Amino acid sequence: MKLSRVIARQTILRLASVAAGLSVTLAQPLTLFADPPQRVSPIVRAVQHAEAAVVNIQGSKTVVSASTTSPNSKQEVNGMGTGVIIDPRGYIITNLHVVEDVSRIEVTLADGTTAIAKLLNYDPETDLALIKIPTSKDLPTIEFGTSSDLMRGETVIAIGNPFGYQNTVTQGIISALNRNIPVNGSQEYKNLIQTNADINPGNSGGPLLNLDGEVIGINVAVRVGAQGIGFAIPIDSALDVMADLVAASHPEPVVHGLELSRSYENGVSKLLVRSDQEESTSSRNVRMCDVIESVNGVPVANRLDLELMLLEQRPGGSVELGISRGENRVTQAIPLRSAPATLDQNLAKTVWEQLGVRVVAVAANAVAGTGEDYQGGLRITEIRAASPAAKQRLQVGDIIVGVMEWQTASMADLQWILSSPTFRSAPSAKYYVVRKRQQITVAMSPESVRFR
């Protein structure tokens, strides 16, 4: 055989051998560009666990300028904030200052879907508010931890909408606990969590998470002019306020007669029975220290879960409680009765029937900048179609500050006015209304000049 042929044959054999080796190599999984497992840190896992239940909030409101050159001048500003979904039906918790005076609350979900929210209820003392968005599908919800065992130096994570940069994640530690922070001369945040996780305007109402992706606080404030000093409402106290806000927003408030509290042991949240105010009822079998595990078969872990379940219930019905009692499991049907009507509830019904509005009291700062010394007002939250208020083109968000010659700083003021002979004998009355810091007046004739 010629030498050239031998060389060519050896070359072909070498190439075949290399190709065979390459084919074996290519048959193995390629790991060159795979993410190393260590990159999925506890912080990454916590964010992935919670982020789907965090929403961004946008809106605009009119504010009064504090400038000394043009005092009481008004300007429209864009506001932003964050919220957390607490129920698949679209119930969201945020800060009151995020949605207060906002006529159009625009909510953006983690998947980019947008919706317009309605303000249902709020608590000025803790600066928490309950809003709701319409939804045709179940939404992801946040998971609650506890603030009872927090440690200084513990790693925490904030998710929010700072300066409009949606879904921003920051990380830090718990710097201190039980901080009391004055807001102004009349308000103070109490027992706050202090953190150095970056919290900026737009983070308000968003979650402060632990490394398990559980909410341990609701971000509420940042120290102006400082770096690395932010504050959050402890989740244990926030949960009680949330439960009250949900219960008060029930269209037909119901009473179950149980006094309940939350226990958090070994990483498990439990809903404990402290007492049964109707234990004398022979058909009831609920005892102190029972653990309520479910309502109508749906697991519950705190009073907020229970109140959310009761939103679908009406007086005269009942719910079935799944109860853990030591080593035993029992079920107990609990009847629901109507909550006793309070003066405010009777008044609210009268105002709805006569004027066609639902109102809530707001503080004096909500009506500042009008040039008048108003002590507060009644913000309209809902208007009935074809009612006197609708005919006068009043709007949700308008604040009634006076009727005739009297101020309406509270529901008690309104009760006195509606009961007065002067009002009842007048064919119509002048209403003073603040809309975006400007005062307007309308005349309305109640559909039924009658106070119950």
- DSSP assignment of 32-47 equals TTSPPGGGS-HHHHHH
User: Residue 247: pLDDT band by 50, 70, 90 thresholds?
Assistant: confident
pLDDT, tens digit, 9 for 90 and up, residues 109-126: 999 999 999 988 888 888
Q: Would you call 224 exposed, middle or buried from its count of C-beta atoms within 10 A (0-12, 13-18, 19+)?
A: exposed
pLDDT at 13 > cutoff 60: no
Residue 33 lies in a domain: no
Q: Are residues 411 and 351 in the same domain?
A: yes
Determine the Cα–Cα distance for residues 1 and 17; give it in Å rounded to an integer. Answer: 22
Rg (C-alpha) for the chain, rounded Å, is 29
Q: How many CB atoms lie within 10 A of CB 303?
A: 22
Residue 150 lies in a domain: no
pTM above 0.95, yes or no: no
Residue 245 lies in a domain: no
pLDDT, tens digit, 9 for 90 and up, residues 64-83: 554 445 555 555 667 789 99
Determine the Cα–Cα distance for residues 222 and 149; give it in Å rounded to an integer. Answer: 23
> Phi and psi (nearest 5°) for 374?
-85, 140
Q: Range with the lowest mean pLDDT among 44-58, 66-80, 87-101, 309-323?
A: 66-80
Map tokens 């932010």 to a residue. 230
Q: Range with the lowest mean pLDDT among 54-58, 67-71, 335-339, 413-417?
A: 67-71
Residue 21 lies in a domain: no
Which amino acid type is present at position 213? G
Calculate mean pLDDT across residues 397-406.
92
Which of 338, 366, 384 is the C-terminal boundary of a domain? 338
- % the chain with pLDDT above 90: 40
Structure tokens at 129: 């508010």
Determine the Cα–Cα distance for residues 376 and 413; give it in Å rounded to an integer. Answer: 11
Q: How many CB atoms lie within 10 A of CB 252?
A: 12
Q: Are residues 213 and 226 in the same domain?
A: yes
pLDDT, tens digit, 9 for 90 and up, residues 427-436: 889 999 998 7
Q: Are residues 333 and 363 in the same domain?
A: no
State residue 451's pLDDT score. Answer: 34
Q: Are residues 383 and 349 in the same domain?
A: yes
State residue 423's pLDDT score. Answer: 86
Residue 381 lies in a domain: yes
State residue 234's pLDDT score. Answer: 96
User: Residue 342: pLDDT band by 50, 70, 90 thresholds?
Assistant: low
Map tokens 């964010």 to a residue. 47
> For residue 191, what is the domain's CATH number?
2.40.10.10
Helices (H) and strands (E) in the chain, counts: 9, 26
Beta bridge partners, 260, equal 273
Q: How many CB atoms lie within 10 A of CB 259?
A: 12
Q: Give catalytic residue positions.
A: 97, 127, 204
Beta bridge partners, 155, equal 173
Which of 338, 365, 380 is the C-terminal boundary of a domain? 338
Residue 32 lies in a domain: no
State residue 82's pLDDT score. Answer: 95
Asked if 82 contacts 206 with a C-beta cutoff of 8 angstroms, the reply is yes
State residue 17's pLDDT score. Answer: 47
State residue 15's pLDDT score. Answer: 43
pLDDT, tens digit, 9 for 90 and up, residues 83-94: 999 999 999 999
> Phi and psi (nearest 5°) for 320?
-105, 120
> What contacts 144, CB < 8 A, 6 or more positions away?
214, 215, 235, 239, 269, 301, 302
Q: What is the chain's mean pLDDT, rounded?
A: 83
Structure tokens at 385: 């179609």
Determine the Cα–Cα distance for residues 220 and 201; give it in Å rounded to an integer. Answer: 9
User: Residue 242: pLDDT band by 50, 70, 90 thresholds?
Assistant: very high
Calculate mean pLDDT across residues 281-289.
77
Map tokens 């009291």 to a residue. 361
State residue 292's pLDDT score. Answer: 93
Structure tokens at 20: 């065979």
CA proximity to 329, closest of 297, 359, 351: 297
pLDDT, tens digit, 9 for 90 and up, residues 130-184: 999 999 999 999 999 999 999 999 999 999 998 888 889 999 999 999 999 886 6
Residue 363 lies in a domain: yes
Q: Are residues 108 and 170 in the same domain?
A: no
Determine the Cα–Cα distance for residues 367 and 374; give it in Å rounded to an integer. Answer: 7
Q: Are residues 368 and 412 in the same domain?
A: yes
> For residue 428, what is the domain's CATH number?
2.30.42.10
Beta bridge partners, 87, equal 91
Determine the Cα–Cα distance for residues 252 and 246; give it in Å rounded to an integer. Answer: 12
pLDDT, tens digit, 9 for 90 and up, residues 175-222: 999 999 886 655 678 899 999 998 888 899 999 999 999 999 999 877
pLDDT at 372 > cutoff 90: no
Q: Are residues 283 and 372 in the same domain?
A: no
DSSP 144: B
In total, how many domains does the chain have? 4
pLDDT at 395 > cutoff 70: yes
Q: Are residues 332 and 347 in the same domain?
A: no
pLDDT at 27 > cutoff 50: no
CA proximity to 161, closest of 216, 95, 210: 95
Q: How many CB atoms lie within 10 A of CB 369?
A: 20
Domain of residue 108, residue span: 47-132
Q: Are residues 228 and 164 in the same domain?
A: yes
Asked if 133 contacts 120 with a C-beta cutoff of 8 angstroms, the reply is no
Q: Are residues 262 and 215 in the same domain?
A: no
> Phi and psi (nearest 5°) for 221?
-155, 160
Calculate mean pLDDT across residues 357-362.
86
Which of 295, 315, 338 is the C-terminal boundary of a domain? 338
pLDDT at 373 > cutoff 90: no
Q: Are residues 347 and 334 in the same domain?
A: no
Q: Which string of DSSP letters, residue by residue, matches 247-311?
A: HHT-SS-EE--EEEEEEEETTEEEEEEEEETTTTSTT----TT-EEEEETTEE--SHHHHHHHHT
Residue 1 lies in a domain: no
State residue 192's pLDDT score. Answer: 94
Calculate mean pLDDT across residues 296-313.
92
Q: Are residues 92 and 161 in the same domain?
A: no
Q: Range with the lowest mean pLDDT among 26-30, 39-43, 281-285?
A: 26-30
pLDDT at 18 > cutoff 60: no
Q: Range with the lowest mean pLDDT among 1-10, 264-273, 408-417?
A: 1-10
User: Residue 236: pLDDT band by 50, 70, 90 thresholds?
Assistant: very high
- % the chain with pLDDT above 70: 83
pLDDT at 21 > cutoff 60: no
User: Residue 55: pLDDT band by 50, 70, 90 thresholds?
Assistant: very high
